[in-house]
């Protein structure tokens, strides 16, 4: 019995020792966690920053306001000036383009008729220039090849400059019952025809004309009130 009691006491002591060691370990672990938590809190407190907003109640001075207004005024005036120049340039170039297009079309029509002047394959129509002056030409050609000049098929065409209306007119079948006319080009301030014979020698003889130099001077008022002027020159040679 005594031996059994001794064994029980020894077992209790062993159990108590193990329990105590476990308790010590748990306490040490809790202590470490507390230390770590304290360190983390310290670091967080160090990282936290406070910001203080300071309002400046002093406004702009009068000098600063005047300078700011002056700078913005100069900037706005510069922008408006740029757009004004751009708009004027656009209108001017647009007007010049209009003049060139219309004058170019009129030049092509006159040149085509001048090239056909004198077409007379049967040598019986007496085709050529019926009139040739500085401001007027009348051209005939036997286009239907019937041996005579008829009042149709554009076989007799006149071009002349009307200085009172500043226009270039086209007359079909002038001085005949079929006469009709139309305005071919407007805004002309001057138009001249110059005639050249063989070897590029100026001539006034209708039968010697081999080429015609045409010069247009056009002037049109653009939208801004300024006048835009263009000068066009074209030389056409007869094929017949």
pLDDT, one tens digit per residue, over 145-203 is: 999 999 888 999 999 999 999 999 999 999 899 999 899 998 899 999 999 999 999 99
Q: Is residue 211 domain-resident?
A: yes
Mean pLDDT of the region 39-60: 53
10 Å Cβ neighbour count for 161? 21
Q: Is residue 10 part of a domain?
A: no
pLDDT digits (tens, 9 = 90+) for 23-39: 455 555 555 555 545 55
In a domain, 28, yes or no: no
Query: Could you give the 3-state DSSP secondary structure of residue 126?
Result: coil
Residue 209 lies in a domain: yes
10 vs 106 pLDDT, higher one: 106
Query: What is the mean predicted confidence (pLDDT) over 59-84?
Result: 85
Q: How many CB atoms lie within 10 A of CB 137?
A: 24
Is 170 a domain residue? yes
Residue 210 lies in a domain: yes
Q: Which structural domain, as residue segments, surrounds residue 110?
A: 88-237
Report how far residue 161's alpha carbon sits from residue 157's, in angstroms, rounded to the nearest whole number: 14
- pLDDT attached to residue 90: 77
Least confident of 12-16, 139-143, 194-198, 212-216: 12-16
In a domain, 131, yes or no: yes
Residue 71 is encoded by which pair of tokens? Answer: 């700078």
Q: Which one, of 72, 69, 53, lies nearest residue 61 by Cα?
A: 69
* pLDDT higher than threshold 60 for residue 11: no
**120-138: average pLDDT:** 93
Is the overall model pTM greater than 0.75, yes or no?
Answer: no
Q: How many domains does the chain have?
A: 1
CA 84 to each of CA 36, 79, 90, 118, 197: distance values in angstroms, whole numbers, following the listed order:
75, 9, 10, 54, 51
Interval 132-143 mean pLDDT: 94
Residue 217 lies in a domain: yes
Q: Which residues fall within 8 angstroms of residue 202, CB to CB, at 6 or more apart? A: 194, 195, 196
């Amino acid at each position: 019995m005594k031996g059994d009691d001794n064994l029980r006491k020894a077992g209790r002591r062993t159990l108590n020792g193990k329990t105590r060691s476990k308790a010590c370990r748990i306490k040490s672990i809790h202590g470490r966690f507390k230390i770590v938590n304290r360190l983390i809190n310290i670091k967080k407190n160090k990282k936290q920053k406070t910001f203080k907003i300071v309002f400046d109640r002093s406004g702009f001075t009068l000098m600063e306001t005047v300078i700011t207004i002056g700078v913005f005024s100069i900037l706005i005036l510069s922008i408006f000036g740029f757009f004004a120049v751009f708009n004027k340039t656009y209108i001017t170039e647009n007007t010049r383009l209009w003049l060139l297009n219309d004058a170019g079309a009129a030049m092509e029509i006159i040149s085509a008729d001048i090239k056909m002047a004198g077409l007379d394959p049967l040598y019986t129509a007496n085709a050529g220039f019926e009139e040739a002056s500085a401001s007027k030409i009348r051209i005939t050609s036997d286009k239907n090849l019937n041996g005579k000049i008829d009042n149709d098929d554009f076989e007799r065409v006149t071009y002349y400059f009307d200085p009172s209306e500043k226009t270039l007119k086209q007359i079909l079948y002038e001085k005949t019952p079929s006469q009709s006319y139309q305005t071919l080009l407007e805004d002309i301030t001057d138009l001249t025809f110059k005639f050249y014979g063989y070897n590029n020698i100026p001539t006034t003889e209708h039968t010697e004309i081999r080429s015609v130099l045409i010069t247009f001077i056009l002037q049109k008022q653009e939208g801004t009130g300024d006048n835009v002027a263009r000068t066009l020159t074209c030389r056409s040679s007869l094929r017949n």
